[in-house]
Amino acid sequence: MQVRSRTAANASDPNVYLSTTDAVQKILKTEGLPGLYAGLLSGLLGTASQNFAYFYWYTFIRSGYVNRQPAGVAISTIMELLIGAGAGALAQIFTIPVAVVTTRQQTMPMGERQDLMATAKEIVDEEGWTGLWKGLKPSLVLVVNPAITYGMYSRIQEVVLKAFKRKDMTPGLVFLVGALAKILATVVTYPYIMAKVRLQWKPSKKDAETHKPYTGAIDVLQRVFEKEGLKGWYTGMQAQISKAVISQALLFMVKDQLEKYTIVLFALLAKQKHHKVK
């Protein structure tokens, strides 16, 4: 995540980071191994709070919807995706300040970097409280990423099962299909991921003299396109794909195995209960 943030934020200067590998090498050379973990505390806090907020709102919205439906009516896939998108949007509103602080810590030069609270205070002092919600609009747009991922996964899964003439997926196939689905979703949404990082990024004191602040995600996309072309929209995508694909593919694989073992467990419990009744 550290490498992805720096590459996406600093890509406008080709002498800074030319690729993910180049970013890793330069960070290690100038800051050592700790440089790759800049913003780790706020990153962990952000991940934990975002997941908590997401599942809280997801449960809240889903329960409210189910309670208003006739008994026995199953929730459609589209409605599940809409509920997930709504929960994701609400989670972003409540947790994006942590993401802003994390991005700021990860993209600042080592000499200017501060701790979590000091960075948050600096943002508020310079930009007001609204500065902690920088990049909210592209973050709200990005809640469609999971929906695209799950949609792609379902479609690819159907094709794979037909091609291999199988009834279910092996862990290896689940991993590969999950990875491919996430890659496709990332390619579709990455320009907005890049725009969000650029909005939350603060240039170094030296660059601040010549850098004109971005006014929004569209402004980022326009200026990057004018200066770097379409390729600029995808700067740093390699690192984002590596991070997202591994986590998403593992998630699908674990989820698939848990579902299978849960079914087996319930079948065994039902069988045991049946024997006791006899």
Please give the mean pLDDT across all residues of the chain.
Answer: 79
**Residues ≥6 apart with Cβ < 8 Å to 190:** 233, 234, 237, 240
Query: Residue 278: pLDDT band by 50, 70, 90 thresholds?
Result: low
* pLDDT for 30: 75
Q: What is the DSSP string of 90-152?
A: HHHHHHHHHHHHHHHHHHS-GGG---HHHHHHHHHHHH-GGGGGTTHHHHHHTTHHHHHHHHH
- The domain in which residue 229 lies consists of 2-277
Report which of 200, 77, 72 is spatially closest to residue 136, judged by C-alpha positions: 200
160 against 71, higher pLDDT = 160
Number of domains in the chain: 1
**Residue 7 pLDDT more than 70?**
no
Q: What is the pLDDT of residues 56-105, one digit of tens each?
A: 898 899 888 888 888 777 777 778 778 888 888 998 899 888 888 888 87
Structure pTM? 0.63
238 against 234, higher pLDDT = 234
Q: How far, in Å, CA of 176 to CA of 250, rounded?
A: 10
Q: Which amino acid would we find at residue 15?
A: N
Spell out a b/e string for 71-101, using b for 16 or more CB atoms within 10 Å of the CB, else e: eeeeeeeeebbebbbbbbbbbbeebbbbbbb
Q: What is the pLDDT of residues 175-231, one digit of tens each?
A: 888 888 888 888 989 999 888 888 877 766 666 666 788 888 899 899 999 998 998
Q: If you average pLDDT over residues 22-26, what whole number do you get? A: 74
Q: Which amino acid would we find at residue 252?
A: F
202 against 52, higher pLDDT = 52
CA distances from 229 to 195, 199, 239 (A): 14, 19, 20
Query: Residue 274: pLDDT band by 50, 70, 90 thresholds?
Result: low
* pLDDT for 252: 66
Q: Tell me, what CATH number does 132's domain have?
A: 1.50.40.10
